[in-house]
Amino acid sequence: MKVLVLGAGAGGGCPQWNCNCAMCAATREGSRLIRPRTQSSIAVSPDGQRWVLLNASPDIGTQLRSQPALHPKQGLRDSPIKAVVLMDAQIDHATGLLSLREGPPLELYVTPCVFEDLTTGLPILTVLEHYCGVRWHMLPVAGEQKLAEFAIDGFETLRFRAIAIPGKAPPYSPHRHDPKVGDNIALEITDRATGRRLFYAPGLADVGPAELEWMQDAACVLVDGTFWTEDEMLKAGLGSKRASDMGHLPQTGSAERGGMMDALDRTRAQRKLLIHINNSNPILDEHGPERAELSARGIEVAHDGMEIEI
């Protein structure tokens, strides 16, 4: 199975259009080794020919243009992207669907909560009915059901599992303040031939025993790398929200709770990567001490264009 990182940044990307924070400014000036990152999305393929898009970023136009594997191959109108799965209904993960409106109906795999958000608070799917239309494949992660195995047409060599994880619905969701199973999912994708597994969770508010178990022997985990510390936005004067207010577990922990680095230290996953990196996060600096700490623990930082063979 092949994984292509289309966008490794969080909302806003890096540099963010209106931001002069240390990381955004240094990225623009080239004064530190920081790669620009577009907003959060990856694509997965069993053979390099047919791809499933995991999240659809507002930067999808640039992302697809820069990836030859995802260009049209045959006939007048065509795309190697055959289906789209969303992890949540956040702007950075969903609004790219609007840029796919010129194609055939979208084969879209989302939970009932995400479907609701995308037809109410952010009614993208309703709008798309006036263009390509959407075929909704419901991922039955809701209520008591926290896990759903599903298949995607044309991708029979892969097994997909959607897993409810701790997170937050977006600010415009009818249940922003009343969390529901299905607001946020992780995806486990297993190559049936080799048994090797990818665990993908770009938004993850906590890593409890269940999440650790999912990550344990994965060939690759690609997980929430949004923030280095819980209060990094506040300290930098960039905003008033803490990492936990936004549903993200920071890399560094506190006395009460371990961070993402502690969680990853406890897994035997063969490759451990952070993705969905916010532009405030000092791990973006490839020569910085935070990046060195990650490297010492065997943790990598995903970047746009990164290819992962699983």
203 near ligand MLT, rule: CB under 6 A: yes
Evaluated on CA atoms 67, 70, 73, 76, the torsion sign reads: negative
Instruction: Tell me which H or E stretch contains 234.
Output: helix 232-235
* Alpha helix segments (H runs only) across 118-162: 124-128
Q: Supply the minimum distance, in Å, between the C-beta of residue 88 and Mn ion.
A: 8
Given candidates 3, 24, 134, 187, which one binds Zn ion under the rule CB under 5 A?
Answer: 24
Kindly state the smallest distance separating residue 212's Cβ from ligand MLT, in Å.
22
Work out which of 4, 5, 10, 114 binds ligand MLT, going by CB under 6 A: 10
Eight-class DSSP state of 246: G
Among 55, 95, 173, 279, binds Zn ion (CB under 5 A): 279
Instruction: Decide if residue 114 touches ligand MLT (CB under 6 A).
Output: no
- How far is the C-alpha of 278 from the C-alpha of 232, rounded, in Å? 10
When the beta carbons of 8 and 158 are compared against ligand MLT, the nearer one is 8
- Position among 10, 19, 60, 222 found at the interface with Zn ion (CB under 5 A): 19
Residue 195 Cβ, how far from Mn ion at the closest point, in Å? 31
Residues 80-99 that bind ligand MLT (CB under 6 A): 90-92
Q: What distance separates the 2 farthest-apart alpha carbons in the chain?
A: 59
Task: Select the binding partner of residue 21 from ligand MLT, Zn ion, Mn ion, none (C-beta < 5 to 8 A, by kind).
Answer: Zn ion
Tokens of 40: 């959060």
Number of residues that bind ligand MLT (CB under 6 A): 7
Q: Phi and psi of 11, rounded to 5°? A: -50, 135
Rounded to the nearest 10°, the torsion over CA 148, 154, 157, 163 is -20
Give the separation between CA 121 and CA 292, rounded to whole angstroms.
41
56 contributes a contact to Zn ion by CB under 5 A: no
- Residue 262's SS3 state is helix
Residues 3-62 within binding reach of Mn ion (CB under 5 A): 10-11
Q: What is the DSSP letter of 205?
A: S
Residues 76 to 95: which contact Mn ion by CB under 5 A?
Answer: 90, 92
Interface residues toward Mn ion, by CB under 5 A: 10-11, 90, 92
Interface residues toward ligand MLT, by CB under 6 A: 10-11, 90-92, 203, 246
